[in-house]
Structure 1
Amino acid sequence: MTKSLKWIIVAALSGFLFGFDTVVISGANLPIKELWSTGPFFHGFFIMSMALWGTVIGALFGAYPTNFLGRKKTLTWVGFFFFISALGSAFAMDPYTFSFFRFIGGLAVGVSSIAAPIYISEISSPKNRGSLGVLYQFSLVFGILIAFLSNYFLTGFRGGQDWRWMLGIEALPAVLYLLMTFRIPDTPRWQILFKKDDQLALQTLEKIYGDSSTANEVLQQIKFNDNHHSSKPQNFWSKKNNRVIILAFVISFFNQLSGINFILYYAPEILELAGFATKESLFNSVFIGLTNIVFTFAGLLLIDKLGRKQLLISGSIGYIVSLTGVSFAFYQALDPQWIALFIFAFIASHAVGQGTVIWVFISEIFPNRARALGQSFGAGVHWVFAALITLVGPSVIAIYNTNPWPIFSFFAFMMVLQLFFSIFMMPETKGKSLEEIDLVINKN
C-alpha cells in the first residue's frame, strides 16, 4: 500500500464518522422522548434536527477553515468535534445541553463533507481519482450500517441508560481518527496556494508520484491552473450559471423529498408503528444499513457504465414503487413484514440512484470557475431540506401515528416529479469532459 493511499484512507474515514453520527440518533430517539417528555415540535427541533442545522452551517462555511487552516488541520478538528460531540451527548443531563453537543457533531459532519473530498481529490493522481473518491461515500454508508448494528446490540444495556451508550460509543472511532490525522501531510495544492511552500509541496508530490520529474511537472500544472482558472465568487450568480444552479437545486431538493433522511432517522419508530417490537425494529434497521451499503457499491460500479441519468431514472421508478408499497401496506394494515420489505426496496432504490448520483452530478455540471461554490450551494440546499424534514418529522408522525400512509404517499408523489425531471430536464454527463458538459448544458 502506497503512502498516498494510506493518507486517502485516513481522510475517507471521516465519512465513517459522518454516517455513524447521522443515524445513531435513531436508536436514542424514543428513549430520549420518554426521558424528557418532549413534545413533537420541541423533540423535532432540539433533539432530532439540531445536528442537521449544525451540518448546514458546517457545509456552508466549511470552505473557510479548509482553506485557512489547511485540509489536514481541518480534518483533525473534525475528529476532535466528533469526539466532543459523542461524549457531550452521552453525558447530557437536559435536552438543551444534549442539543448543543449534537449541534457540534453536525458542524463536524458539514465540514467533513467539504474537507475530506477535497483532500482525497488533491492527493490522488488523475488516473485513480474517481475510484479513490468512492472510498468516502463507501465509508459513509458503512458508518450508517455500524451505527444501526451498535444501536441494536446496545438496546437494553444499562437499562434506561442504553441511549447514552449508543451516542457515546462514537467517541472511540473519533479519537482513533483524530490521532491518525496527525500522521498525514497536507495536500500539495494547499501547500502551494496557502502556505506558499513549493518545496514542501514538491516533496509531497514526489511521495505521490514516485519520481521528481513527474512531481515537478504536476507542481507547475497546479500553479498554472490556479493562475488561469481561479474561482471568482462574484460570477457565481451570473446568468450563464442559471441552468446549473437550477439543476443543482432540484436534484438536492428531490434527494430529501424522497424521504431518505426521514426514514433513516425515524426507522425504528416507523417500524414500531408497523407493528414490530422495539428490538425487532432496531434489528430491521440493521438490514436497512446493510441494504444501503450493498446497493451503494452496486451504484458505484454502474455509474460510469449506465450513466447518471439512467441511474436516476431507475432509482426514481424504484422509489415510486417502494414508497407506494409502504403507503398501501399501512393503509391496508398488511403484515409488518411487507412494510419492512418495501422499506428495504426504498433504500436499495436510493443507494443505486440518488445516493450514487447526486454528488457526482453536482460536481460535474458547474463550470471550472464556479465548481467549488457550486458544491457548497448543492450541499447547503441538501442539508437545509434534510433539517427541515427532520424538524417536522415528530409532528407529522404524531398527526398520523395511527396510520402514516399519507406521509409515504406524499414522498411517492414527489418521486413522480423527480422521474419527470430526470427524463426531460437532466442532461447526461457520462463519458464527457468537464468542458464538454459545460457546452452541452449551455448550448441553448
Structure 2
Amino acid sequence: MKPHDSLKMNKSYTILISLIVALGGFLLGFDSAVISGAIKGITVYFEMTDAMLGFSVGCVVFGAMAGNLVAGPLADKFGRKKVLIMVAALFAISATWSALATSYNEFIIARIIGGIGIGGAILIAPIYIAEIAPAKLRGSLVSFNQLNIVIGISVAYFSNYFLVNMEGESWRWMLGVEAIPAIIYFLALFTVPRSPRWLIQRLNKIELAQKILMKIGGEQYAELTIAEIQKGVDKKEPKGKLSDIFQKKYSVIMVIALGIAFFQQITGINAVFYYAPTIFEQAGGSTDSSFLQAIVVGLTNLVFTLVAIWLIDRLGRKPLLLIGSSFMTIALLMAAFAFNNATYNFNKETLEKVSDAEIKTALSDLNGQSFDSQATLFNALEDKLDESKFLDFKRNEITNFIQINATLVLIAILLYVASFAISLGPVMWTLISEVFPTKIKGIAISVVGFFNSLVSFSVTQVFPWELSNLGPTMTFGIYAILSFLAILFVYKYVIETKGKTLEEVEELLVKN
C-alpha cells in the first residue's frame, strides 16, 4: 500500500471542485450540439447557400483547433484557473453574439469564438482536475469532463425541442440560452483554488499550495504531495517549448498520446453521432423514427459514460480500452454484415416512393428486379442516371428500396456507442492528462488536442462521401479494421496509470 492510500481524503471538497471545473465540458457539449436546432432559422435569416451553411456549422472546428494550440501555453504561463475563466467568458460572448448577430460575418466570428472556448475547455479542464485530484480518485474525477460533454449534448437537444416553437426567431433563443450556464461557470470558477502543482512548479508558492492540499487530504497528504512535486522541481529543468516534445526521452509518451488521440476519432465516433439519423435512414427507417433512434444513441452514450466513471479507477485505463475497442470492432462488423446482407427490391410500391420524377422514370424499367448488394445496384444504375441524379439517388432515394435487418443495425450502433463510452471516450482524456510531465504538459497537450480535432474534422467530412461512394458495408468495414488496430496499439504501447501519482507516471515513462 502506498502512503497516500491510507490517508483519509476530503472527497466531497475534491468532487465539488472537479464538478465546477467540468462544467466546461457541459458548455463544450452544449455548444457543439445546439446548432442542429438552429440550422433552418439561420439558413433563412442569413440567406445562406449550402456552402455558407456548411461553413457556419463547421467553423467551430477551426476555432477549436486554435483553442487547442493556445490553451496549453497560456495555462502554463498564467495558470489553469485563469485560462478556464477566459474560456467561460468566450462561451458567454459567443452565445450572446450568435443570438444577436445581424450579418453572416458576425455570426461566423461569434461561432469561431465559441470554438476557441471549446478547444480550451476540452484540454485545460482535464489537466486541472488531474493535478488537483488524489491518485486513487483521479480517473473518475477527470472523467467528469467527458460525462458533462455528453450531458451538454443531451441538454442542447432538449433545449432546442422546447424552444423551437417560440414566437419570432426561435433560433436566437436556442443559441442565446447557452449564455446562462456560461455566466454561472464564469462566476463559479472564482471559488475554486489554483492548481497546487502549478503554484509550486511555476511560482514556488509552497505555503499556498499546502493550504489547498490540506483541504483535499489533510496535513500528511499535503506534506507527501509537496515532497513528490518538489522532486520534479529539484531536477531544475528549463521551461518546456515545442521542440522538447520531439526529444527522445519523451518518445514513448508522444506515441501513447498521439496514438490514443488518433484512434479515438479515426474509428468513426463523431461520424456516428453527427450522422446517426442518416445511418438509420440508410437502414430503411423513416425520418421520424431515425431521429428517435438517434436520441436513444445519445442516452446510451450518457449511461455508459457513467459506467466508465465507476470502472476507471476500479478496473483501470488499459483494461477498459481493450474491452471497449474489442466490442467496438464486433459492433462495426455487425453493422457491416447487416448492410452486406441487405437486398434492394424494385417494384411498383417502392418505385412510387421516389420523389424525383426524372429518377423515377429512369428506374421504371427495373420494376420486378432485385439486387443482392449495393455494388451490383450501382453498376446497374450508372448508365441510367447522370452524375447529379445518381448522387441524389444515393443520398435520398436508395432508402426506398432497401430490405435490411434494421434491428441488427440499431443493436450494432448502440453496442458501438456503449463500447466507445466506456473506453476511448473518457479514457483518452484521462490518459493524456496523466502521462505528460508538467514541464511539457501545456504545449504537448495542445499539440495532441489539435491533432485529435484535425482527425475528427477529417472523419466527419469524409463520412458522407464514404456512405455515397463506398456504401455502408465498406464504410463500417473500414472502421472495424481501424478499431481492431486500436486494440493492437493499446495492448502494445499503453501503460496502466491507475493508482499512480503523476510523478510516478513521469518516472515510468520518461527515458533518462
Structure 1 length-normalised TM: 0.82
Amino acid at match of 1:183: T
The reply on whether 1:414 has 2:501 as its aligned counterpart is no
Structure 1 residues 298 and 126, CA, compared in 2 at 3 Å: closer, same or farther?
closer
Once the two structures are superposed, residues 143-176 of structure 1 have per-residue CA deviations (whole angstroms, 9 ceiling, x without a partner) of 223223334444x423894544433332221122
Q: Does 1:356 align with 2:402?
A: no
Aligned to 2:257: 248
Residue of 305, 330, 333 corresponding to 1:321: 330
Question: CA separation in 1, counterparts of 2:291 and 2:168?
Answer: 16
- The residue identity in structure 2 corresponding to 1:109 is I
**Which runs of 5 or more residues in structure 2 are unaligned?**
1-10, 343-401
Answer whether contact 2:67 2:120 (CA < 8 A) is retained: yes
Q: Which residue of 1 aligns with 2:269?
A: 260
What is the distance in 1 between the residues matched to 2:170 and 2:339?
30
Distance in 1, matches of 2:225 and 2:484, equals 46
Assess if the C-alpha contact under 8 Å between 2:201 and 2:229 holds in 1: no
Match of 2:496 among 429, 434, 439: 429
Please list, as runs of the form range in 1=range in 2, the aligned pairs for 1:184-333 lying within 5 A after superposition: 184-194=192-202, 197-211=205-219, 215=222, 218-219=225-226, 222-228=229-235, 230=237, 232-233=240-241, 234-330=243-339, 332=342, 333=402
- TM-aligned CA deviation for residue 306 of structure 1: 4.5
Instruction: Please say if 1:38 is aligned against 2:38.
Output: no
Q: Deviations over 1:329-355 (max 9, x none)?
A: 456232655433332222112112211
CA positional deviation for 1:374: 3.8
Alignment partner of 1:176 out of 180, 184, 195: 184
Specify whether residues 410 and 369 from structure 1 end up closer, same or farther in structure 2 by C-alpha distance, changes over 3 A only: same
The superposition leaves residues 302-327 of structure 1 with CA deviations (integer Å, 9 ceiling, x where unpaired) of 34554444433332332233233334
Distance 1:15 1:31, change over 3 A: same
Distance 1:131 1:309 in 2: 14
Distance 1:69 1:32, change over 3 A: same
Partner of 2:82: 73
Query: 1:152·1:279 contact (CA, 8 Å) conserved in 2?
Result: no
The 8 Å contact of residues 304 and 422 in structure 2, kept in 1 or not, is answered as yes
Q: Is the 2:98–2:176 contact (alpha carbons within 8 Å) kept by the matching residues of 1?
A: yes
- Which digits, 9 at most, give the CA deviation of each residue in 1:209-247, with x for residues without a partner? 455x76466556544532326564343212333343233
Query: RMSD of aligned C-alpha atoms?
Result: 3.6
Q: 2:456 aligns with which of 359, 367, 386?
A: 386
| Residue matched to 2:8 | none
When structure 1 is superposed on structure 2, of 224-233 and 181-190 the one drifting more is 224-233
CA contact (8 A) 2:137 2:313 kept: no
Q: Once structures 1 and 2 are overlaid, which stretch shifts more, 93-102 or 250-259?
A: 93-102
Distance 1:291 1:120 in 2: 25
Q: By how many angstroms is 1:117 displaced? A: 2.1
Q: Which runs of 5 or more structure 1 residues have no equivalent in the other structure? A: none
Q: Is the 8 A contact 1:49 1:390 kept in 2?
A: no
Cα distance change, pair 166–189 in 1 and its aligned pair in 2 (3 A): same
Taking structure 2 as the reference length, the TM-score comes to: 0.73
Percent identity of equivalent pairs = 36
Q: Structure 2: how far apart are the matches of 1:294 and 1:146?
A: 14
Tell me which residue corresponds to 2:347.
Answer: none
Change (3 A) 1:427 1:71: closer
Q: Secondary structure at the match of 1:182?
A: helix
2:130/2:434 contact within 8 Å kept: no
Q: Does 1:10 align with 2:20?
A: yes
